[in-house]
Chains A and B, each alone.
Chain A
Amino acid sequence: MSITYLEAIREAQAKLLRDDERVFIYGQDVGGTFGGAFKATKGLAKEFPGRVLNTPISEDAIVGTAIGAALHGMRPIVEMQFADFSSIALNQILNNAGTHYWRTSVPVPITVRLPSGGTKGSGPFHSQSMESIYAHYPGLIVMTPATVEDAYTMLIEAVTIDDPVVYCEHKYLYYHLKADKLPAEGLPTGNARIAREGRDLTIVSYSAMLHEALAAAEQLASEGFEIEVVDLRSVKPLDTDTVLASVARTGRLLCVGESFPFGGVTAEVISRVTSEGFHLLDAPPQRINAKDTPIPYHPNLWSAHRPSAKSIAAKARKLLRE
């Protein structure tokens, strides 16, 4: 048997609906025979009648409704059709869900699934990675699974967690990633994972960029370099300890993210490592992100806009020489 990243997301939701009667799924086109723009809820409406509901195109109200339901005992999973459209619901996510526990001592257990990241030809409004924005605001947990196994166990964990979770699933990985089977348990959220061991340089990444980083590490291995690759898994909480421990072994740090370059996850990792582990560094830490323009439509431009194994390897080579 082989199961894709997308199927893992569907299976996790099926399991949640089966095991927990508080769970329902709310979003555009998730129900009926359709099962979502990416088919992440295919068949679930039939299997769980009345619990997988199509909504109008009203992101702000969809999340508001989920918050209200969560406050009264439910565990809603909201599917945004694309991460990009969650910008419409920023107010509810950041200002309502994100502040609620701190203001009232009552947590808001919603999960918002964001089909994220670039695929070729998708252009400025169907390609965005929003994890840095959500991580910036207090009160939210932000997950960025990079493997089929994590896609499955982290989504289950997201729904069990009492706080609001923004779950960033990468569209590029939907069909590209496969695993033999789904695990019963995964590493708890907040723990990064060493995806590849090495001693010359640490690359920190997450989501689809992890795979570009691993491919770069493979290229560099043939040139005699041993690259350690860290998969953050969740960007908030951010597992600084695992990153620092890796940098202690390698002395060099390169952070890779697909979102826009200003601020964000890669900048945060570098900031933490320089302030807490400056003495561990043999060279100035580096980062590589998408370019500071909207995400282009044309495949040529798109490939140059996002980091790739090639551009990561080039940056790493330079850093290894320093």
Chain B
Amino acid sequence: MLQTAQRSSETIKTKAGPHERFLEAFRWMLLARTFEEKLVSLYRGGLITGGVYIGKGQEAVSVACGLFLQKGDIFAPLIRDQAGRSAFGEPLVDVARTYLGSRQGPMRGRDGNIHRGLPRQGQLAMISHLGAMVSVTVGALMAKRFKGEKNFVGLSCIGEGGMQTGSFHEGMNLAAVEQVPLVIVATNNHYAYSTSNEREFACAELVDRAKGYGFEGYNLDGTDLSACLDVIGSAVKRARAGRPPQLVVASTLRLSGHGEHDDASYVTDEVKREPFAQDCLKRAEKLIVDLNLVDAKTLQGWRNDAAAQVDQAITTAQKEAAPDTNEDWCAISNRALVDQAP
């Protein structure tokens, strides 16, 4: 089974050569894809209330976001980051619990789906309002600096749609002013819900904005796992080493609806033939087969392992109790100060 716990900066630097890293990343991607396929089938069967938002087509970018972070770092994933969240250390069962509303999940049924986090482990809990988590990541990094911690970075994810919010701009500017060790990974999947790039921004290249903020900027083919590991890995390394904040802009296509309620009929066939529309997971798998990095039996074993992990997470969460009305209706931690509204 895949493990994050033992991973430290040491194993990243020494033991894992490029092939091992690639294969580990591939397995997280496979796990995320398998898990999200299961979520979709549960949703279609009416077993998940609310929305299901998946990261199909973005697993390569996402896994690279989670993979180079270590204990003590800050990760602010967004809606399409199942792969990265797992690679960073979020237990799959907690994801299942959040989607199924289990009382034992980290969100205790109070919040659902992608609106989850493990703040004490450095994984910030996103709110829906896009752009809001950039400055929160900046603040977390400032706190670490105030406390004298060393060798930490923060990585905050965003879509090209979210990049157009005021919060995002303010957060970017602040990060540069404060010179915190931050990496922003922006994924241009060419749509914000139904809106395509022409109605989102008018600059030639989103990455050109890096200069305007005082960031260093890099473009990335988000369908190419090796490139993702290389570009995002290097950006994390540079930020950790004290370079200015880093902006990576990855290009992909969202290979699903905005959420599972959306048939994405507005995505044209022409767009689906673009190079950025390639499936990163298929591409990675092809490379593994072509270079014979592992044999077919091993690959199949990994698939089985992913399916088993997903099954176990879902079955566990399904057995757990739902929240009930004996809920503790307190929105603040200080019980003595709770206002007793009528």
Contacts of B266 in A (CB 8 A): 32-34
| Chain-B contact segment, one of A70-78, A192-200, A233-241, A296-304 | A296-304
**CA of A59 to CA of B341, assembled, Å:** 32
Interchain CA distance A50-B138 in the complex, whole Å? 40
Contact present for A301 and B49 (CB under 8 Å): no
- A291-B341, A298-B109 known; A56+B128 contact, CB < 8 A: no
Considering only residues 91-149 of chain B, those with a C-beta below 8 Å from chain A are 101, 107, 109-113, 115, 127-131
Q: Would you call B50 and A29 a contact (CB within 8 A)?
A: no
Q: Provided the pairs A33-B265, A297-B110, A301-B323 are in contact, do residues A292 and B194 lie with their beta carbons within 8 angstroms?
A: no
Provide the bound-state CA to CA distance between A33 and B200, in Å: 17
Selected from A88, A121, A262, A293, the residue in CB contact (under 8 A) with B167 is A88
A292 in complex: contacting residue of B51, B195, B329, CB < 8 Å: B329
Q: How far is the CA of A57 from the CA of B342 in the complex (A)?
A: 37
A58 pairs with B164, CB closer than 8 A:
yes
Q: Tell which of B49, B164, B199 touches A121, judged by Cβ atoms closer than 8 Å.
A: B49
Q: Name the B residues within 8 Å of A53 (CB-CB).
A: 199
A287 within 8 A of B: yes
Chain A positions within 8 Å of B51 at CB level:
121
Contact A304 B325 (CB under 8 A): yes
Cβ contacts under 8 Å, B1 to chain A: none
Question: CB distance B329 to A298 under 8 Å?
Answer: no
Nearest chain B CB to A115's CB is how many angstroms away? 13
Residue ID in chain A nearest B328 by CB atoms: A293
Residues of B within 8 A of A304 (CB): 325, 327
Residue of B nearest to A301 (CB): B323
Contacts of B129 in A (CB 8 A): 84-85, 87-88, 125
B5 beta carbon closer than 8 Å to chain A: no
Taken residue by residue from 51 to 79, chain A's Cβ proximity to chain B (1 for < 8 Å, 0 otherwise) reads as: 00111111111000000000000000000
Contact of B130 with A57 in the complex, beta carbons under 8 Å = yes
| Contacting pair B167 A56 (CB below 8 A) | no
Q: What per-residue 1/0 map shows which CB atoms of B302-342 lie under 8 Å from chain A?
A: 00000000000000000000111101011100000011011
Chain B interface residue count: which class? 35 or more
Q: Are B324 and A125 in contact (CB under 8 A)?
A: no
Complex CA gap A296/B50 in Å reads: 11
Query: C-beta contact mask, B146-187 vs A, less than 8 Å → 1, else 0?
Result: 000000000000000110111100000000000000000000
Q: State which of A261, A297, A300 has its C-beta within 8 Å of the C-beta of B107.
A: A297
* Closest chain A CB from B99 CB (angstroms): 10
CB pair B111 A261 closer than 8 Å: no
Q: Of residues 60 to 100 in B, which have CB atoms within 8 Å of A's CB atoms?
A: none
A298 touches B161 (CB 8 A): no
Q: Name the one of B49, B109, B162, B330 contacting A57, with C-beta atoms under 8 angstroms.
A: B162
Q: How far is the CA of A58 from the CA of B199 in the complex (A)?
A: 12
In the complex, chain A residues whose CB is within 8 Å of the CB of B327: 296, 301, 304
B-side residues, CB < 8 A to A, are: 49-51, 101, 107, 109-113, 115, 127-131, 161-162, 164-167, 192-195, 199-201, 265-266, 322-325, 327, 329-331, 338-339, 341-342
Q: What 16 new A-B contacts, CB under 8 Å, besides A57-B161, A88-B165, A305-B329?
A: A29-B194, A31-B199, A34-B193, A57-B162, A61-B166, A123-B112, A125-B128, A125-B129, A292-B338, A297-B107, A297-B111, A297-B112, A298-B49, A298-B109, A300-B323, A304-B327
